Structures are given as structure tokens and as C-alpha cells.
Chain A
Amino acid sequence: MTYRFDFSAVLAQWPLFMHGAWLTIKLSLLATLLGLVIGTLCAIGRGSRNPFIANACATYVEAIRNTPLLVQIFLVYFGLASIGLKVPAFVAALAAMVINVGAYTTEIMRAGIESIHRSQIEAAECLALSRVQVYWHVILRPAMERVYPALTSQFVLLMLATSITSQISAEELTAIANRVQSDTFRSFETYAVVAVFYVLLSLGMRGLFWAAGQALFTRRRKLGTPL
């Protein structure tokens, strides 16, 4: 093997990688928040008595979960362009990621919602709480606490999946890696360094979610037991 590893040229680009990591974080957090809202609404919709709404949500979830993210990104990017909407790659990337993670979040939230026993809802209704109040205080809050670990894993996977948006030239860490490796001709070293960045981002994101969970779920913080 005549190849000589040279990490120095790649490591010299670390400000660029930091910038890329920041862009990845931005994209991930935005997609996470929007995906959570969509996922929760769709999970509620899945249980709706209205067959049209229930089937629409189910179809959306199945369609997304059985097709690759790469193809979904192409469809959103080219789809928007074909109806005349020229959006920046970041927006197309965000839209595709939100649509994608929304479907997976729906399934997770659905499991959480269904884990709430009927008797809880009955007790809440007998306390004269409105439908919306019952949903928020008695169904969604404990459901979210219960499925929080699954949500955390899902959103870390989301962050890793943002790498795929490099294929439509969205600005994030992998896109920057592609540029650096073509400039320095040190392809393996570049991707090895970027891999480490991603591992650190995953750990950081898990830590962030754990801290948020401790802050949000008082009962969990105080008692340490699962709900």
C-alpha cells in the first residue's frame, strides 16, 4: 500500500466543518420541531372517527415509510420546481425531512396515545374537562413522556439522515465534506473526520434530549421510574 494518510490538510479545514455541523444542527432541530407537530396531529387524525381523515393519515404514513428518503427528497425538490416554486435547497430539504420524520413520529405518538387507558379518559371527562383539555392534559402529556426514548432515537436518526440532503446540494456537513475532499484530494481522511463529527453530534443530541426530558417531565426527574 503506497498511500500515505495525511489528516493535516483536512483538519486545517475545521472551521468549515464546524460551520457545516452548525447547519446540520439547524436543519435537524427545525425538522424535529415541525415533525413533532405534524406527527402528533397525524397520530390524533389516525384515531379519528371520520374515516376520510383516518385513512388519509394512514396512507400518508405507509407511503413515506415504504419509500426511501432519497427519492422523497428528489420528489419534493423537483416537484416544487415543476409547479413553478423555485425554493432554496435548504427549504426543499427541510420540507422533505419534515414530511419524512412526520410519518415516523406519527407511529411513535400513536403507540403512546393508545397506551393511555380508556379509564383515564373517562375520569377526565367526568371532571368536566373539554375534549381538547382531555387530549392535552391526560393523553398527550403522559403519552409523550412514555414514548420519549423512542422519539429521541427517531430524531437522532433524523440528524444523521440530513446527510442525504447533500444530494440536492443543501448546505450541511456532508455537502461541505464533499467540497473539502474534492479540494484536498484526501477523500478517506475527509470522510473519516466528518464521521467523527457526526458521532459527536449524535452524542450531543442525545445529551440535549436527555436534559430536555429531565426539564419537561418533572415526575421522571423526581422518581426516576418509567410511566
Chain B
Amino acid sequence: MTAPVVRLDNVHKSFGALKVLDGVSFEVGKGEVTAIIGRSGSGKSTALRCIDRLEKIDQGRITVCGHQVSEPGLDLRQLRRDVGIVFQSYNLFPHLTAAENIALAPRHAKGRTRAEAKEITERVLAQVGLSDKAACYPEQLSGGQQQRVAIARSLAMEPQVMLFDEVTSALDPQLTGEVLKVMADLAAGGMTMVLVTHEMAFARNVADTTIYMHGGRVWEQGGREMFDRPQTAELQQFLGNGL
């Protein structure tokens, strides 16, 4: 069996006195889609951010695409070329068009030529269904469209794994669907994905594995049967509340 793309080993992290990750361990294999669910404060977003080294861990080990993320001497830029991340607030660059947002990193962080970057941009825009919005600025796009451009922007770097940090939480309900569809298509196409989400139906139907985090720990882990037959009282309550 090939090595996992993402592997967390007994990861601990505190923000000051607050222990946010209390011995988190899990693996994501190539082509697998892993969803992380849990209440606010359960540590799920923090765990995701640690994968892309947006936060530093106190203890434990994180290995991503062969990089030892938790060790000093990490080539941070190379890690970021291999990992794509999409944020809750899209974080598109407001002074650039959708196409310019997408082409920026391939050109300057990967050294692609203008022609290559253009071709990549057109491809990923088509992939997210926004080919006609290439020349639009973020303020001219709806929330759902902006988030799809953000996904395209990360895809343009041709990453080995994509991370999604509650990417539909800031959207109006009617715009959530278009983003989830793009993510489902990505999953079907074989992309390795780790997503923190509140969309239970998506986690149940699209994810290969779902991790339920509680109190900074992996409380339960499983496939779709976990939703039908939760083992622990906490997960039962969490799913029962529909949160």
C-alpha cells in the first residue's frame, strides 16, 4: 500500500492556556476524501490549518506529500505547491480579475509562461463552470462564484491534496449547492481532499471517511455507517441536533 498523502501522528497544540488539539492522529490515502465534522471549538479547523503549516504544532508529527511539516528545515514554498487550501472567506485578491487571481501563482510561484498560465486558467475555470467570468473582479461575483474562483485558484497550482476550511459556511443556502457540486466533481475525479464542513449530507454521501472531532480529539471515525449508527453519546447528540 502506498504511503498516505496526509498523516497526523499524536498532534498536540495549545493557544496559550487553551488546549485545542489533544493527541490527534489520522491518515488520508491517495484519492481519498476525508471529512472532519464537529462542534465549534472542537479543533477541526486548527487541525486542517496545521496540515498546511498555517499553525505550528507543539508536539507530534505531521507528514504531507512526503514533507515533514512539523520539522524545522521544511521547504515551506514547496509544501504550498503541493497543498491547495480554500478558505471560508474566499480571500480572493480584490484588485485582480478572476483570471488574474488564478494565473498569479502559476506564473510567479511555479514559473509558468504567460501562455501556459492562460491555458491552465481556462482549464480550471471550465472545471468550476465559470469560463464566462474570467474578466470579472471579485466584487462583481456572487459569494458562490467567488468561492468557485477560489477553488480554481488553488487547483491551478496542480496540488496533490486540497484542503477545504468550511468553505460553504459563509454562503447563502442557495449558493451552497454550486460549490458542493464542484467539490463532488473534484472528488469523483480522484483528488485527495480533506474538508472541514457542517454539510452533513455531503460528508455522508461524498466522503470516504468522516472524522468526528470532540474536545481536540478524534472521537469517532468511519464511513457512511457512522452517520447511521453513531457509537458515542457525543456524536449521537451532535448528529441529533443537526448541527
The answer to whether B93 touches A133 (Cβ under 8 A) is: no
Q: Given known contacts A119-B89, A122-B54, A137-B104, is B109 in contact with A142 (CB within 8 Å)?
A: no
Residue contact A123 to B108, C-beta cutoff 8 Å: no
Q: Is A227 among interface residues, defined by CB-CB distance under 8 A?
A: yes
Does A227 lie within 8 Å of B94, measured CB to CB? yes
Given contacts A223-B137, A223-B140, contact A127 B95 (CB under 8 A): no
Q: A223, B139: Cβ atoms under 8 Å?
A: yes
CA distance A145 to B93 in the complex (A): 13
Complex: how many Å from CA A138 to CA B52?
Answer: 20
Q: Are B87 and A127 in contact (CB under 8 A)?
A: no
User: Closest B-chain residue to A127, C-beta based?
Assistant: B105
> Within the complex, which residue of B83, B91, B105, B137 is in contact with A219, where a contact is CB–CB below 8 Å?
B137
Q: What's the tally of chain B residues with a CB closer than 8 Å to chain A?
A: 29
CA distance A128 to B137 in the complex (A): 22
Most central of B77, B85, B110, B157 by chain A CB within 10 Å: B77
A114 within 8 A of B: no
Task: Please give, as numbers and ranges, the residues of chain A lying within 8 Å of B93 by CB-CB distance.
Answer: 120, 123-124, 137-138, 142
Which 10 pairs from chain A and chain B are nearest by CB?
Answer: A123-B91, A127-B105, A128-B80, A128-B109, A142-B95, A128-B81, A128-B77, A119-B91, A126-B85, A129-B109
Q: 13 interchain pairs (CB within 8 A)?
A: A119-B91, A122-B91, A123-B92, A124-B93, A126-B83, A127-B154, A128-B77, A129-B105, A130-B108, A141-B95, A142-B95, A219-B95, A223-B137
With contacts A124-B93, A129-B104 known, what are 17 further pairs, Cβ within 8 A?
Answer: A119-B87, A122-B91, A123-B87, A125-B80, A126-B54, A126-B80, A127-B80, A127-B109, A127-B153, A127-B154, A129-B109, A137-B104, A142-B94, A142-B95, A219-B95, A223-B139, A227-B94
Q: Which residues of A are at the interface with B, using a C-beta cutoff of 8 A?
A: 119-120, 122-130, 133, 137-138, 141-142, 145, 217, 219, 222-223, 225, 227
* Residues in chain B within 8 A of chain A (CB atoms): 52, 54, 77-78, 80-81, 83-85, 87, 89, 91-97, 104-105, 108-110, 137, 139-140, 153-154, 157
